[in-house]
Amino acid sequence: MQNQGVFNKIYPKRGLPFHIKDYPQEVQKIWQEKCRPVDEIVAGLPAHLKLGIGLLAEQPRQFLRALGKRKNFTAIELFSAFLLEPYEFLAWPITTIRCPFFFSIERMLNYVMKKTIHFHPLQFTQVPPAVKYFQPEYIVTSATVPNEEGYINLSLTSGVDETYLRQCLADPSRRVIVEINQYQPWVASDAAYSHHSVHLSQVSAVYENHEPLFQLPPIETSEREKKIAEYCLPYIKDGSTLQFGIGGVPNYIATQITVRRNLGIHSEMLCDGVVDLVQAGAISNTQKGHRDGVSVCTFILGTDKLYDWVDRNPQVCILPIHEVNEPYVAAKCNNFVSINAGLMVDVYGQICSDTFAYKTYSGFGGQLEFVQAAMRSPGGRSILCIKSTATVKDKPVSNVVVSFPEGTTVTVPRCFTDVVVTEYGVAELREKSSLERAHALVNIANPEFREGMADKLKTVGLWEESYGFTSTSQKVFYRSVGLLSSLKRAASLKFWLKKVAQKIK
């Protein structure tokens, strides 16, 4: 079993009908030992179940649906994020959900259905150690059909689950169950991580569910987002290494930089825009300085256009999260440009990207990690994109604020914030003082709110520069500070005791 990196020669592309009879006898034998109906697998689970699942398009959907059919569970503890469907078992009172990132289903459960989702405020690289701490006994994920050697590829996600999955494979007390789906693409990795593949003989059980993958179409870009994107464009030059994720701004940016050349990709996520840039000749990955020649990611999410492109593509390399998001790793890339979205910024440059007044909206993800990486990268820049206003109770409120509302959390501390962009302009904060930051950020706020912000900042001393020494008493006091300090020392008992002790010696 030496060829786990070999692409599937039996089926030349994803989506073709799967038949185990097409395989060598030795693979058929292992398949017969491992493959069972999903309901049978679920029936054999312990009544008290601790479970971790694959993320996003690698979510084992049929398994999660089948959990809801079994009614004699006593407790289910689920470690997940980005739930794709309102699975029945999620509504049960015996189900506890632990999550480092809220998506639409998590928000609905927590805020509409009033079922507590235990949110864990973790950066992306902190999630694997957290999963290891909670020790789920079962990991269930989706993977490709096997190749002729019996290897299956873990496909669209490496991120947080692959590291723990491999630990489970080596531990007889834990189990790995795999949903085999002919629509999953075979995604390249490297030998250090077993080419993102495992052998059928290593897993506890498999079942078949050949179902088209979850699709995330490119989000339509609003006029405000187009303006924000246009302010970002000058920071992306020929030879830049890019990190960007989901949203209207990165989607639009991808359409506007097709004339750039020798761009590189080092991003936790690959999206459809990368395909367009490669086809336009903009991405070559030749000048990154780290993992040249490949677009690096830790998960892949988009449409079939993207899934077809990554399938058996040697220009793509999917890796565990610590090889992608760790700031010291990403900073090895030259001219690293990180583009991410925030919800609010205060006048100090603190960024909130994941909460609204005590309510979790999303999570940390890799934002802070990539912000730090860009700061350390030779020629790197971190860009945080924020719409200048939001609508609350049918009224506009400023997202550029003097101070955050109660219950707001900080995603990016002020010491790491570099460039902030709204539809009204750019504030470069990296080398600015607190007073200079306040001016720069008010200048990119919605004009309707600028005067009120300036008035408030005047009252707290963060708007007008003062030169001091306006009175004679101030000048006299300042000139006397040295003399007063000497007199105070001379009057100190400790001072004289020390002098006497020194003379005695």
For 23-33, what is each residue's pLDDT tens digit? 999 999 999 99
Least confident of 166-180, 232-246, 347-361, 464-478: 464-478
Res 160: pLDDT: 64
What residue segments make up the domains of the chain, in order of their start? 20-208, 223-459, 472-504
For 45-95, what is each residue's pLDDT tens digit? 999 999 999 888 899 999 999 999 999 999 999 999 899 999 999 999 999
d(CA 275, CA 269) in angstroms, rounded, equals 13
For 362-395, what is each residue's pLDDT tens digit? 999 999 999 999 999 999 999 999 999 999 889 9
Res 367: pLDDT: 94
Beta carbons of 229 and 201 less than 8 angstroms apart: no
Task: Check pLDDT > 70 for residue 5.
Answer: no
Q: What is the pTM assigned to this prediction?
A: 0.92
Single-letter amino acid, residue 349? G
Sign of CA dihedral 501, 503, 504, 505: positive
User: Token digits for 424?
Assistant: 């009204």
Angle between helix 223-232 and 248-256 (nearest 10): 60
Pairing of strands 355-356, 359-360: antiparallel
d(CA 231, CA 225) in angstroms, rounded, equals 10
Give Cα 151 to chain centroid, integer Å.
29
d(CA 181, CA 174) in angstroms, rounded, equals 23
Least confident of 5-9, 243-247, 459-463, 494-498: 494-498
Mean pLDDT of 233-262: 92
Single-letter amino acid, residue 73? F
CB atoms within 10 A of CB 235: 21
* CATH number assigned to the domain with residue range 223-459, chosen from the 4 options 3.40.1080.20, 2.40.390.10, 2.40.50.140, 3.30.70.1400: 3.40.1080.20
d(CA 96, CA 94) in angstroms, rounded, equals 7
- The 3 state secondary structure assigned to 225-276 is HHHHHHHHHHHCCCCCEEEECCCHHHHHHHHHCCCCCCEEEECCEECHHHHH
Res 250: pLDDT: 87
CB atoms within 10 A of CB 240: 22
Task: Check pLDDT > 60 for residue 295.
Answer: yes
Least confident of 22-26, 182-186, 458-462, 491-495: 491-495
Beta strands in 55-192 (DSSP E): 75-79, 95-99, 118-119, 138-143, 151-153, 175-180
Instruction: Name the architecture of domain 20-208.
Output: 3-Layer(aba) Sandwich (3.40)
Res 1: pLDDT: 43
| The domains spanning 20-208 and 223-459 adopt the same CATH topology | yes
Task: Check pLDDT > 50 for residue 358.
Answer: yes
Sign of CA dihedral 72, 77, 80, 83: positive
Under DSSP, is residue 57 helix (H, G, I), strand (E, B) or coil? helix
Task: Check pLDDT > 50 for residue 153.
Answer: yes
Quote the DSSP letter at residue 82. S
Angle between helix 248-256 and 272-279 (nearest 10): 0
For 393-416, what is each residue's pLDDT tens digit? 899 999 999 999 999 999 999 999
For 444-488, what is each residue's pLDDT tens digit? 999 999 999 999 999 999 999 888 888 888 888 888 888 777 777
